[in-house]
Amino acid sequence: MGLFDKLKGEFIDVIEWTDNSSDTMVYRFERYGNEIKNGAKLTVRESQAAVFINEGQLADVFMPGMHDLTTANLPILSTLKGWKHGFESPFKAEVYFVNTKRFTDLKWGTQNPIMLRDKEFGPVRLRAFGSYSIRVTDAAIFLKEIVGTDDDFNKDEVTGQLRNIVVSRFSDALGESGIAVLDLASNYNELGEFMQNRLGGEFREYGLELVKLLVENISLPQAVEDALDKRSSMGVIGNLNQYTQFQAANAMEAAAENPSGGAAGGMGMGMGFAMANQMGGVLAGQQSQGGQPAQATPPAGPPPIPQAVSYFVAVNGQQAGPFDMNALKQKAASGEITRETLVWKDGMAAWTAAGEAITSVFGQTPPPLPTQS
């Protein structure tokens, strides 16, 4: 600073800061040993706050507007300086301008995968990233807890710590949520709002407000994603037999469009059809209705044992039974049924005499004796 500037600014009567950057959060008003004149003008623009520091002690805080620096609006500084009846002489104090605008598009992300147990896939590793936005709501706390005596404090000096807090709390919340991996994408908004509410108190301890937190992506390792892609492809293909035939038809069409193939092309098509038929048969045998391999077909066994034949019996005008052949033989032996007793079973058109329908239950009648000659 030249001699002329030093003499011109011997007593400061206008205090203001026009921010020409996009990342400065706190700026200490520069001067060359200057004293602030009694009645000086302090201009605090929108999205700013001005904090006065006296010998290391936080004094008065001014919000947006134009202020005359007098005893009336410097109550804390007046007490610290011992101005009981006002003052006329200039005074010295550090002035910090705090940027209270919203700082957006601050990034967060997991440096290492989050290990958790998924109810469908079992143990999995997940990576997550997103963005968040903050603003200073309490300039005094922010200066005291974060900035200290830094004369030009930018957002990069605090976002590292904030990012670590976000990642740590998000990892814990994701593990406790129990949300299936395949359902996480449908819960990004809910996770973001939950984390915003959960982290609000910790950010307020620094004089900050967590305005918004967004979850942009939660991903699996590349190898697992590739396996999922293959699984999805199988679901899209559906019937593997039809797909194989379709591929063979495409191969035949391509060969037909290449007349220079000649005999070799015809031989290739023939081999292709043979292989397609064999693969189609194998795949059709392995594929079940759900697209999964079917269980191995067990070896053929003997046919089921035929069911015993049963008959209903008409006894004294009432239907009885059914009785199997052993029971009918016992009833025939005891005389309960005779050859004239009506019987019926499934498949017979009408009731029939037992002597005609079930002759086996009655004893064989011996043939007549031969005549003596």
Please check the confidence at residue 40 and state whether its pLDDT lies above 80.
yes
DSSP letter string, 301-338: -PPPPPPPPEEEEEETTEEEEEEEHHHHHHHHHHTSS-
Residue 368 clears pLDDT 90, i.e. is over it: no
Can you give the pLDDT at residue 294?
52
pLDDT confidence of residue 263:
47
- The C-alpha torsion from 250 through 253 and 259 to 261, rounded to 10°, is 30
The arrangement of secondary structure in 310-361, i.e. its CATH architecture, is 2-Layer Sandwich (3.30)
Confidence band, pLDDT 50/70/90 cuts, at residue 229 = confident
Residue 278 to residue 55: CA distance in whole angstroms:
91
Q: Which amino acid is at 242?
A: Q
For the chain, domain boundaries: 3-99, 103-223, 310-361
Select the more confidently predicted residue: 283 or 39: 39
The amino acid at residue 253 is: E
Structure tokens at 133: 């936005």
Q: What is the mean pLDDT of the chain?
A: 80
Beta strands (DSSP E) in 100-190 are 103-109, 114-118, 122-136, 152-154
Please, which pLDDT band fits residue 268 given cuts at 50, 70 and 90? low
Q: Are 58 and 80 in contact (CB under 8 A)?
A: no
State which CATH number among 3.30.479.30, 3.40.50.150, 3.40.1180.10, 3.30.750.210 fits the domain covering 103-223.
3.30.479.30
Higher pLDDT, 74 or 88: 74
Predicted confidence at residue 195, as pLDDT, reads: 94
Average pLDDT over every residue of 71-81? 82
103-223 shares its CATH topology with 310-361: no
H or E stretch covering 69: none
In the numeric block, the tokens 């996480």 are attached to 184
Per-residue pLDDT at 8: 47
Does residue 365 have a pLDDT over 70?
no
Residue 352: what are its φ and ψ, rounded to 5°? -135, 150
- H or E stretch at 55: none
Here the tokens at position 105 are 């598009």
Residue 13 contacts residue 41 (beta carbons within 8 Å):
yes
Under a CB-based contact definition with an 8 Å cutoff, are residues 140 and 16 in contact? no
Residue 373 has pLDDT above 70, yes or no: no
Closest CA to 114 of 129, 93, 101: 129
Per-residue pLDDT, 205? 94
Highest mean pLDDT pick, 75-79, 113-117, 305-309:
113-117
Q: Euclidean distance between the first and final Cα of the chain, in Å?
A: 167
pTM for the full predicted model: 0.59
> What is the predicted pLDDT for the residue at 259?
60
Q: For residue 260, give the DSSP letter.
A: G
Q: What is the token pair recorded at 204?
A: 């307020």
Average pLDDT of span 117-121: 86
Q: Taking a C-beta distance cutoff of 8 angstroms, is the pair 79, 133 a contact?
A: no
According to the model, what pLDDT value does residue 293 have? Answer: 52
What pLDDT, in 10s, does the model give residues 131-173? 999 999 999 999 999 998 888 999 999 999 999 999 999 999 9
7 falls in which pLDDT band (50, 70, 90)? Answer: very low
